[in-house]
Amino acid sequence: MNQDTVLQVRDLATYFELRRGVVKAVDGVSFDLRRGEVLGLVGESGCGKSLTALSIMRLLPKGGARTVRGEVRLGGENILELPASRMRDIRGRRISMILQDPQTSLNPVFTIGEQLREAIFRRAPAKTAEIMKEAVAALRRVEIAAPESRISQYPHQMSGGMKQRVVGAIAMSGEPQVLIADEPTTALDVTIQLQYLKLLKRLQTETGMAILFITHDFGVVARMCDRVAVMYAGRIVECGPVAEVFERPAHPYTRALIASVPKMTGERGRLATIEGQPPSLLDLPPGCRFAPRCNLAEPQCIATYPETADIGPAHTVSCWRSDTR
Amino acid sequence: MGRFIVRRLLHGLVLLFMVATVVFVLGRLTGNPVDLMLPEDATAEDRTRLIKSLGLDGPMHTQFLVFIGNALQGDLGTSIRMRQPAVDLFFSRLPNTLVIIPWAILLAMVVGIPLGVVAALNRGNMLDRGAGTIAVLGIATPNFWLGIVLIFVFSVELGWLPSGRMGGPEHYVLPVITLGTFLTAGFMRLTRSSMLDVLESEFVKLARIKGLSETVVIWKHCLRNAMIPLLTLWGVFVGNLITGAIVTETVFAWPGVGRLTYEAVIYRDFPLLQAVIILKSILILSINLLVDILYAYVDPRIRLS
Ligand SMILES: Nc1ncnc2c1ncn2[C@@H]1O[C@H](COP(=O)(O)OP(=O)(O)OP(=O)(O)O)[C@@H](O)[C@H]1O
Ligand SMILES: [Mg+2]
C-alpha cells in the first residue's frame, strides 16, 4: 500500500439478497484515496454510489443488504473485519460522512448544540460548557453567522443550506482523515450549492483530509476534485486525474456523461442524453454492463467483461474499445 | 410556551362549555328531568318544589343560564339516591380512582414502551412475533372479561390476591393489570411501529456516523422521536382509561368515580350522572393539557411554532 493512500478499497461488493433474486448494487469496486485529495465518484442515479459509501462506513440499510466480499483498508487495517465496537471508535474520528438530505440528517428533537456536543465529546471529553465553546467555534468554521445563538436552536429553525453546514460541522468535528460527502449539495439551491462547495474545499485544504466526493454532476467534479472515478451499474469503469479524464475520456459512458454537462460558454448546444436505461441489477449482462447502450459495442463487449487497463498516467479504464475515439 | 398553554386552556374552556350544553340539552330531550330526579312516591307538591328549586319553570334559555350559573358556583345538583351534592360525591370518590390510573399508566410505560423498542429491534423474529401476539390479545380482550378471569385465577383458584375492595398494596395488583393491559399493549404496538420508522431515518444514520454507541442511538435519538406518535394518540388512551375505569372499578368493587358512574346509570341518578360527566370532562381536559405540554416539551417543532 502506497504511503500516501489513506483509504484503499479493493473488490468491494454489496448485494441485496431478496426473495426475487440478488441485487448486485455494488459489484467489485476498487479505488485508492490519497492523503489530502478529493476523489470524485460519479454516475447515474442508482449505480451504487451511496451504497459504496455506506459499505465503507459499515452502515448498510436494513433489509437484506450485505457486503459479500472485498477489503476496505483504512491506514493499513481492513475495517470490514473489525468487531463492531472497534468500527464505532473509527466512525466520526477517522472516517466520517455527510449525507445527501440536510432536511432529514439532523435529529428534530435535539438542539444543534447538543448534536454537535455528542460529536465533539468523542474527540475531547470535557465539561459541557467547554464543549459548547468548541461547538460555537465549529459553527463559525462552517461560516454560520451568529453561532452563539444558533447553538440553542433546533433544526427546523434553520434553512437547508445552514443545516447542511451544521451536518458538515458535525461530520468534521472528530477531525477525520477521510470524509465521504454523498451528494452534499444536491438538495440545495444553486447559489447555496456553490457556497457550500467552496466551504468544503477550503476546509479540506486547511485540514488536509481526504474527501470521497459523490455526485452525479460532472460540472461539480471539475470544480471540486483532483481525480475522478466513474461508476456504472455497480462497477467503476474509468478512473483518472480530472483534467486527463476530461480531455481524454476513454470509456464511452464517460464521454456521454461529459457531453451531458451543460456548457456555460458558447451557444446553448443540445443537452446530450444517454439513450436507454441502465441494466437491471437483478439480471446483469455477462459482458460490459454498458454494452447494451453503447454504439461502439461489438460481440466481445457483450460476451466478456473487460479487465481494467492502464491507458495513461494513473488513468485506468474497463473497456474493450477504449482505443476507438 | 406560556401562550401555548393559555391557548390550550381557552380551547379547553370552550370544549367544556359545549359538554355542559350537550348534557343540559340531553337532560331536557328525555322529558322533564324532574320525572327522572324524583323518587317514585313523590307528591305533586314535591314536584313543583323541585321544579322551582331547579329553575325549571322558566323558559329554556333562562333555565340554561341558571344551570350554567349554578355550575360556575360549583353546584351541579344533588344526587337523588344519596341526597348529597353531586360534586362532593365525585370528589370524595376521585382519590380512589386517581390511585389506580397512574399505576396503570406507569405499567404501560415501563412494560409497553421498552417491549415495543425491543420488538422493533428484533423485527420479524420470534421475540417480535411473540410480543406482537400478546399485544393483539391485550388490545382485543375486554376489560370486564380480563378482570373476571384474573379474579377467577388469582383470587378464587390460587388465592394469592384479593378479589376486590380497597386495601393494602396487594389489592391494587389485579385492578391495575385489568385497567393497564389495553394501554400497555397499545403503547407496545405504537412504540414498535414508530420505532421502525425512526430507525430508518437519516438522522439515525448521522448519529451512527458520529460514532455514538447503539445504546445512545436507540434510547436517546430514536426513542425520543418514537414517543411523538404516542403522545398524539393520547386521546384514544385517555378515553380507554376513563371507560376502563368504570368497568374495572365495577368488577373489583372499587369505590372510585368509575363505579360512581356505573351506580348513577344503574339507579337512574340523573343529576349525579350529569355532574359526573361534566367533572370527568374537566379531568380529561386537564390530563390532555398536561399531555400537550409534555408533547411540546418532546417536540420542539410544536413548542416553537
Ligand atoms: N432496500 C433495497 N432493496 C433492493 N435494492 C436496493 C435497496 N436499496 C437500494 N437498492 C438498489 O441499490 C442500487 C444502488 O443504490 P444507491 O443508493 O447506492 O444509488 P446511488 O448511486 O447513490 O443513486 P442516487 O444518485 O439516486 O443517490 C439501486 O439501484 C437500487 O436498485
Ligand atoms: Mg445516493
Instruction: Give me the residues paired with residue A95 across strands.
Output: A91, A178
pLDDT of A258 higher than 70? yes
Arithmetic mean of pLDDT over chain A: 89
pLDDT of A243 higher than 70? yes
Q: Where are the domains of chain B?
A: 2-98+268-304, 101-238
Give the environment of ion ligand 2: residues with CB less than 5 A: A 50
pLDDT at residue number B272 = 87
User: Which residue is closest in CA terms to ligand 1's atom 7?
Assistant: A16
Segment B159-166 shows an average pLDDT of: 80
User: Which residue is closest in CA terms to ligand 1's atom 28?
Assistant: A46
- Phi, psi (degrees; rounded to nearest 5) at B215: -60, -45
Helix (H, G, I), strand (E, B) or coil at A209: coil
Q: Which residues of A touch B (CB under 8 A)?
A: 57, 59, 61-62, 88-93, 96-97, 99, 101, 104-111, 118-119, 122, 154, 156-157, 167, 170-171, 174
Residues of chain B above pLDDT 90, percent: 25
Question: Pick the residue with more confidence: B37 or B70?
Answer: B70
Helix (H, G, I), strand (E, B) or coil at B301: helix
What is the per-residue pLDDT across B244-275, written as a single tens digit (0 to 9) for each? 888 988 888 889 888 999 888 888 788 888 88
pLDDT at residue number A266 = 45
Nearest CA-CA partner of B76 in B280, B235, B284, B288: B280
A91/chain B closest Cα distance in angstroms: 5
Least confident of A49-53, A102-106, A197-201, B97-101: B97-101
Instruction: Give me the residues paired with residue A240 across strands.
Output: A228
pLDDT at residue number B187 = 93
Segment A65-76 shows an average pLDDT of: 93
Name the grid cell of A165: 453546514
Ligand nearest to C-alpha B200: 1
Name the grid cell of A163: 443545516
Name the grid cell of B124: 420479524
Q: Give me the helices (H) in chain A, please.
A: 49-57, 84-90, 102-105, 112-123, 128-141, 147-150, 160-172, 190-207, 218-224, 242-247, 252-259, 299-303
Interface with A, mutate which of B197, B210, B294, B302 (most A CBs under 10 A): B210
A167/chain B closest Cα distance in angstroms: 8
Count of helices and strands (H, E) across chain A: 12, 12
CB atoms within 10 A of CB A145: 9
Q: How confident is the model at residue A267 (pLDDT cuts 50, 70, 90)?
A: very low
Name the grid cell of A286: 455477462
- Residue B87 contacts by C-beta under 8 Å, 6 or more apart in sequence? B74, B75, B76, B275, B279
What is the per-residue pLDDT across B87-146, written as a single tens digit (0 to 9) for each? 999 999 988 888 888 899 999 999 999 999 999 999 989 999 999 998 988 888 888 888
pLDDT of B53 higher than 90? no
Ligand 1 binding pocket (C-beta < 6 A) is A 16, 18, 23, 25, 43, 45-51, 61, 63, 216, 281
E strand or H helix at B83, and its extent?
Answer: none
Helix (H, G, I), strand (E, B) or coil at B143: helix
Instruction: Kindly list the structural domains of chain A, giving each domain's residue range(s) and its CATH number in brackets, ordered by start.
Output: 5-94+176-317 (3.40.50.300)
The architecture that CATH gives domain B101-238 is Orthogonal Bundle (1.10)
What is the per-residue pLDDT across A194-210, written as a single tens digit (0 to 9) for each? 989 999 999 999 999 99
pLDDT at residue number A268 = 46
What is the per-residue pLDDT across B229-239, written as a single tens digit (0 to 9) for each? 888 887 778 87
Segment A238-256 shows an average pLDDT of: 92
Cα distance between residue B96 and residue B77, in whole Å: 22
B301 and A171 within 8 Å at the Cβ level: the answer is no
Cα distance between residue B208 and residue A188, in whole Å: 24
- Phi, psi (degrees; rounded to nearest 5) at A5: -80, 125
Nearest CA-CA partner of A68 in A85, A51, A83: A51
Q: How confident is the model at residue B305 (pLDDT cuts 50, 70, 90)?
A: low
Residue indicated by cell numbers 368509575 = B258
Q: Inform me whether the C-beta atom of residue B218 falls under 8 Å from chain A C-beta atoms.
A: no
pLDDT at residue number B240 = 81
ipTM score assigned to the predicted complex: 0.90
Cα distance between residue A158 and residue B49, in whole Å: 68
Cα distance between residue A213 and residue A211, in whole Å: 6
Instruction: For residue A48, give the ligand 1 atom closest to its CA.
Output: 18
Question: In chain B, what residues touch A57 (CB-CB under 8 Å)?
Answer: 209
CB burial of A109-123 (b: ≥16 within 10 Å; e: otherwise) equals bbbbbbbbbbbbbbb
- Residue A258 contacts by C-beta under 8 Å, 6 or more apart in sequence? A218, A246, A249
Cα distance between residue A97 and residue A75, in whole Å: 17
pLDDT of A66 higher than 90? yes
Segment A2-23 shows an average pLDDT of: 90
Nearest CA-CA partner of A153 in B216, B161, B41, B301: B301
Question: Pick the residue with more confidence: B175 or A269?
Answer: B175
